Amino acid sequence: MSTGDNSLKRESKEEKKKVSRRAPCCDKNLVKRGPWSPEEDLKLFSFVQKNGHENWRNLPKQAGLSRCGKSCRLRWINYLRPDVKRGNFTIEEENTIIQLHDTLGNKWAKIAAALPGRTDNEIKNVWNTSLKKKLLNFKRGAKNYYQSKESISMMSSTSSSSTTTSNISSLGKRSRAESEHDVDVPRGDDSYVPKKPRESCWDVPGESKSNESIKDISRNSSFSSNNSSTVTDNADQVFNHAHQGDTIRSSSEDDRQSMDSFFDFSGFGIGLNTLEEVSKPDFIPDIDPLEFGVESWNMWEGLDDTLIQSDPVQSFQDGFDNNNNNEEVDLMRWYQLLENELGLGVTEDQNQQEKKSSKESEPLTVAENHDEIPLQEP
């Protein structure tokens, strides 16, 4: 076959492709785009409540909206639908997302199916803007922790000399260059702290997002009634109510913040195979945080933040030195659990031996080396 034939064939194929290419669902010049106004929300909400949504393509026309049907559908599903749960994600929900993402990948719709009231879009956003980074920090922390731990073991077993100090530093510390080459971490440092989430235009002052949204109003005021006047009246009520809008602090903000501090170890955590975009050094233990379950996460959350965030190695050592403190005992147990999970476990006997040998040889204690093993960049 000649090259001319080939080009003809290719052209006809492309032509066919061009011809068969579906026309856009709506004329972008004729439909409105961008953020939805309260009036539009009101129209859509009222219409769907009254008539349902059998055909999204025709809906805008029937509802008096100059929007693409697809846009209406999205707005309804992601925002106006009565059973959409607003507000911040709970720890349990975030844990579920992490678990499911680990097994399903970016199957947001499937993940959303496991979280009633949450939309795939919302979950996707939370993952991309928050959870992914938190887990990244968590993972990075594991690296620091185990590096530090490793260096302590080395010191103990070799009756370290003064030269060890610098070794510890180099092992435990992440260089600036290293930090700056990390993937997807804002500001190139280790201190990612999510900002306060933005409030929706429908949020009501003094109420949580989830308490007094348009959806709840609809539920509480017989919005589902077939009586059109009732629908309209209630829709007006929604409209008026919603536009008292002012920024508020959601009731679950505390949950969010505690979760943030929970995750924001800024250098303490565990490996995750869910973050495929993160290049993993071989020596980083790659365990699945999902193994811990909600109870374990909650236990973490219950721990003193300073214990977790300031210096896990210190905490680790303190655990041996002060077993009377329940929290520290728990922490110690958790570390052991973690180590066992990682297959890097230091057994109880080894711990005792290590402690003993370290006392005998009197190396620099972790406490003394505190400044030498910074887990956070200043």
| Closest C-alpha to 148, from 368, 372, 363 | 372
Q: Shortest Cβ distance from residue 267 to DNA (Å)?
A: 16
- 183 belongs to the binding site for DNA (CB under 7 A): no
Rounded to the nearest whole angstrom, what is the least distance from the CB of residue 33 to DNA in the complex? 4
Which pair of tokens denotes residue 177?
A: 């260059």
For residue 181, state whether it binds DNA (rule: CB under 7 A): no
Residue 354 sits at φ, ψ, to 5 deg, of -60, -45
Q: How many C-beta neighbours within 10 Å does residue 73 have? A: 18
Q: Which stretch binds DNA (CB under 7 A): 34-42, 315-323, 325-333, 359-367?
A: 34-42
Q: Which of 92, 79, 90 is nearest to 251 (CA)?
A: 90
At closest approach, how far in Å is the CB of 234 from DNA? 21
Please, which residue, 54 or 295, has the CB nearer to DNA? 54
Taking CB under 7 A as the rule, does residue 55 contact DNA?
A: yes
**Phi, psi of 187, deg, nearest 5:** 65, 0
Counting Cα atoms < 13 Å in the Cβ hemisphere of 47 gives: 21
Q: Is residue 124 involved in binding DNA (CB under 7 A)?
A: yes
In the complex, minimum distance from the CB of residue 28 to DNA, in angstroms, rounded to a whole number: 6
The Cα-based distances of 349 to 33, 335, 356 in angstroms read 67, 15, 10
Applying CB under 7 A, does 33 fall inside the site for DNA? yes
* Farthest-apart Cα atoms in the chain, separation: 86
Angle between helices 293-302 and 326-342 (to 10 degrees): 140
107 binds DNA (CB under 7 A): yes
Q: Is 29 in the site for DNA (CB under 7 A)?
A: no
Report if residue 194 touches DNA, rule: CB under 7 A. yes
Residue 64 interacts with DNA (CB under 7 A): yes or no: no
Q: Does 121 bind DNA (CB under 7 A)?
A: yes
**Residue 17 engages DNA in binding (rule: CB under 7 A):** no
Selected range binding DNA among 18-26, 172-180, 216-224, 322-330, rule: CB under 7 A: 18-26
Cα–Cα distance for residue pair 34/211, rounded to 1 Å: 27
DSSP-derived secondary structure for 214-225: HHHHHHHTTTT-
Q: Which one among 47, 192, 263, 268 touches DNA, defined by CB under 7 A?
A: 192
Residue 18 contacts DNA per CB under 7 A: no
Q: How far is the CB of 261 from DNA (least distance, A)?
A: 13
The least distance separating DNA from the CB of residue 223, rounded to whole angstroms, comes to: 19
Q: Determine which residue in the list 29, 198, 348, 362 makes contact with DNA, applying CB under 7 A.
A: 198
Among residues 53, 81, 140, 215, the one that binds DNA under rule CB under 7 A? 53
Minimum CB distance to DNA smaller for 128 or for 227? 128
In angstroms, give the least distance from the CB of 174 to DNA: 17
Given a contact cutoff of 8 angstroms between Cβ atoms, the answer to whether 49 and 231 are in contact is yes
DSSP one-letter string for 286-312: ---GGGGHHHHHHHHHHS-HHHHHT-H
Q: Does 335 bind DNA (CB under 7 A)?
A: no
Residues 219-278 that bind DNA (CB under 7 A): 247
Phi, psi for 51 (deg, rounded to 5): -115, -10
Q: Would you say 131 or 313 has its CB closer to DNA?
A: 131
Among 3, 5, 34, 178, binds DNA (CB under 7 A): 34
Q: By the 8 A CB rule, do 77 and 119 touch?
A: yes
CA distances from 247 to 100, 216, 343 (A): 32, 19, 48
Q: Cα angle at 288 between 286 and 293, to 5 degrees?
A: 155
Residues found near DNA in the complex (CB under 7 A): 20, 22-25, 28, 32-36, 53-58, 67-71, 73-75, 77-79, 88, 106-110, 120-122, 124-126, 128-130, 133, 186-187, 192, 194-200, 247
